[in-house]
Structure formats: structure tokens, C-alpha cells
Amino acid sequence: MHVLLITQYFPPEIGAAATRWGDYVQILIKKGHRVTVLCEMPNYPLGTYFPGYKRQWVKQEKVSPNLTIIRSFAWANNRNSAIKKLGHYLVFMFSGLLTAFRLKNYHVLIVSSPPLFVGVIGAIISKIKSIYFFLDIRDLWPESVMALGEVRSKWVFNMGKKLESFIYKSTNGYILTVPGFKKHFTNHYPEQLNKPMINLINGVSNTFFDLAKKYDRIPGKRFAVLYSGNMGLAQGLESVIEAADILQKYPIDFKFVGSGVKQKALKTKADKLGLKNVVFLPVQKKEELIKLIKKASVCLVPLKNNPLFKNAIPSKMFEYMACGRPVIVSISGEVTEIIKKAKSGLISSPEDANSIADSILYYYNNRGKIIEQGRNGVMYVKENVRKEVLISHVMKKMQNAINKKSTL
């Protein structure tokens, strides 16, 4: 099958969105599928073009006979204001749409959202070219930006809902990162429930496991707590800084790895509290990040205390587990059931510094649990969330849906 994938973020960019389809694309081509990727000129998360790229309209990369990457114009900026962020999304929407018109001879279109504006490309292209269109939903927009305070205007929110409705009406089916997203359709778009809804949760690839095997699973001598990834509005990392303050008298290090719009504020908060046990590290390449995870004692998976995030299943959790590290999850909802079933971590209250500190102290005082629960996590990921198995299931379901439509 020839798949056209449209996703704003793609490697060499980093982050959950880029990693998700970066891994799945590699698996698809290994399985004999042909993939064309349409994405932005790489600049995320730092807001500057990656080495080898520049401000240009389009750049085509023929990686292999089965993989072509088409990078379209993007406004590279630090996205530290609503105008810059909106401009970042809209510029790619327009450039991507014009670029997509020239592409042909593919069997199915997959568009990954958010940002929601990427879905507009899919909605228009699928109508004009009569191609089967699956929308990959990684997060619920505009609800998430409203919950995080990025959008406060009801007018803007309502416009976002109209855009969401337009895109949903244009799809032939859905790929859901979180199975619980189906409740969103039940409550708000029940007429969409007759369309195929295929689960494709985040997981771990064989390539990641191979890298993880290269390094010792025993943590470093100094007890260390690690958070890696986006330091954004959704993570509620202020409570982690407060937990570090509570635990100052203990020989425990807190390591924040990555970047994001809240990074500066978090550093300022740590400085004001006079924390000597907190360090911020820049974005790391995957192999270097794996080394840091393996040196840590426990890893954190926090989110803000908002009902919208009850369905969240952050991809970093499975990577921590695959590296043999127990996780402290500060989320309520589906993810807590995974941790309980896997016996690979503890659940603390979202945005509750005391609860997070108590969970950290549990592992500090029970070092044997780090190895035991870390081992449990590795086993769970291997048996339940291997990306190779997950994407094969999706491709089979998509092919069945396409075949069914063609016979009608």
C-alpha cells in the first residue's frame, strides 16, 4: 500500500509527534509499504532550521525506493506568543496544501493532528482527489488549548469547534492515539461513530529496544529523578520543582531534559527557591537520552490536573518502562490502569508536590523496588505495546475499511 502521511512534525525534529510517525514510517517501509511524508521544514522545538535546511518552499528527499519525504515551507520561530504560534501553524497549512496538490498515486491519506490546521489539508485534498482519508488524533483540539489557557476567547474556541466539525465530516475514518478519545465522539459527534475508529497507541519500537539493550540497567549510585520531553503548559512541572524543594535535605537529584515554553519559568522558580538539587539539560539525541534514563533511579510522567487529560497516555512512559525504570505517574485516568496492570510504578496526585515527593521517597527508601518494577515495565512493553505489532494491526484494519468502501 502507498500511504501519504501529512504531519507537521517529523524527524529530525524531536518530540512525541515526530517520534510517533518517525518510528511508524520506518516500520511500514520495512514491511514493504511505500510511504510519502509531507511535513514542515524541520525547526521544532527550538524554532530555528536544523542543519542542512533553510527557508525554502519545498525540499524533496528520496530516502529509499519506498520512502520519500517532502518538506514544505514553515515559519520557524520560538512560538512564544499567540500570533507566532498561530502563524507557525497557518503557514504550514497553506504551504502544505499547495504542495499536497501535486502529489498523486497513493492509496490512502493519513493526517496527524494536532495542530488541527493540518487536518484542513486532509479535508480539502480528500474531497478534490476522492482519496480515503484517516485522521490520526493525538490530542483533542481546541479543547486542550482552552484547558491550558492558550485560548480564552469563546469566539475563538467556537471557531475552532467549527473547524473541527468540518474536518471530522470530511474523514472516512479515525486513528486514535488514546482509546478513550472515542468518548469525545460519543458526547459531541455521535454521528461519526459509524466510521472506522482504529486504536494506535504510542509504544516502543524494536530499534528503541536494541538501543536500550546496549546500556546497563542498573541506575547510578546517586539517586536521580528524571523528567524528559516538552516543558510546556500541559505538564504541570511546577509541582515537580516544589517536590524538589520538599526533598532538599535528601541526596536526590532532579534532572529536567528538553525544552519548552515553560522552561525559563521553571528555571526561575528553581533559582528563587535556591534549589541545588535541580539541573536542566538540553534536548538530547535518542541514544543520549536512553543513557540518561538508565542512569536515573525513577522517571516522572506528570500532567496538569484537568479532566481533559484523564485519557492521556504519554509516549515517554513506555520509553521509561522499556529502559527498565519505574515511573511515577501524576495523571488520573486510563494511564493509571496500565501502571497497575504492569506493576511498574506509582500513581501520585496531579499537581500535588507532596504526593510526588512521597512517591519519590518510596523508591529512595526501597531501592530493590527500582529493579523489580523496572523489570516489570520492560516485560509489559514487550508484550503489549510493540510498535511493529500495533501498526500491522492498523494497516490491516485500514485495508479492510478501504476494501469495504470500494465494494459499496
Judge if 313 and 221 occupy the same domain: yes
Q: Would the CA dihedral through 287, 293, 299, 304 be positive or negative? A: negative
What does 310-325 look like in DSSP terms, one character per residue?
GG---HHHHHHHHTT-
CA-based radius of gyration for the chain? 21
- pTM for the model stands at 0.86
> Same structural domain for residues 321 and 335?
yes
What is the C-alpha separation between 83 and 79, in angstroms, rounded? Answer: 8
Q: What is the 3-state secondary structure (H, E, C) of 29-47?
A: HHCCCEEEEEEECCCCCCC
- State the Cα–Cα distance between residues 363 and 259, nearest whole angstrom: 27
Sign for the pseudo-dihedral over CA of 41, 43, 47, 48:
negative
Containing domain of residue 396, as a range? 2-203+386-407
* Distance separating alpha carbons of residues 311 and 256, to the nearest angstrom: 24
Same domain, 193 and 301: no
Contacts with 375 (C-beta within 8 Å, 6 or more apart), sequence order: 324
pLDDT at 79: 80
What is the predicted pLDDT for the residue at 67?
Answer: 97
pLDDT for res 254: 98
Number of neighbours of residue 274 by Cβ within 10 angstroms: 8
Identify which of 77, 72, 43, 42 has the alpha carbon closest to the alpha carbon of residue 59. Answer: 72
Task: Give the type of residue at 55.
Answer: R
CATH code of the domain containing 350: 3.40.50.2000
Q: Both 259 and 296 in a single domain?
A: yes
274 and 244 together in one domain: yes
Tell me how far CA of residue 78 lies from CA of 89, 171, 175, 238, 273, in angstroms: 12, 32, 30, 21, 27
CA distances from 408 to 121, 197, 321 (A): 26, 19, 44
Give the Cβ contact number of residue 215 at 10 Å.
15
One domain for residues 342 and 378? yes
44 phi-psi bin (left φ>0, alpha ψ -120 to 50, beta other): beta
Q: Is residue 272 domain-shared with residue 232, that is, in the same domain?
A: yes
Place of cell 481533559: 308
CB 122 within 8 Å of CB 109: yes
* SS3 readout for 260-292: CCCHHHHHHHHHHCCCCCEEEECCCCHHHHHHH
pLDDT tens, position by position, for the chain (408 residues)? 899 999 999 999 988 889 999 999 999 999 999 999 999 999 987 889 999 999 999 999 999 999 999 999 999 988 877 788 889 999 999 999 999 999 989 999 999 998 889 999 999 999 999 899 999 999 877 666 665 666 566 777 778 788 889 999 999 999 999 888 888 899 889 999 999 999 999 899 999 999 998 887 677 789 999 999 989 888 999 999 999 999 999 999 999 999 888 999 999 999 999 999 999 999 888 899 999 999 999 999 999 888 777 778 888 999 999 999 999 999 877 888 899 999 999 999 999 999 999 999 999 999 999 999 999 999 999 999 999 999 999 999 999 988 876 665
Q: Which grid coordinates belong to 100?
A: 499536497
pLDDT for 86 equals 86
Claim to verify: residue 256 and residue 372 sit in the same structural domain: yes
Q: Are residues 322 and 193 in the same domain?
A: no
- Is the same domain home to 161 and 213? no
Q: Are residues 146 and 275 in the same domain?
A: no
pLDDT of residue 152: 65
Counting the structural domains of the chain, the total is 2
29, three cell numbers:
517501509
Give the cell for residue 296.
536515573
> 42 and 173: one domain?
yes
Cell of 92: 504550514
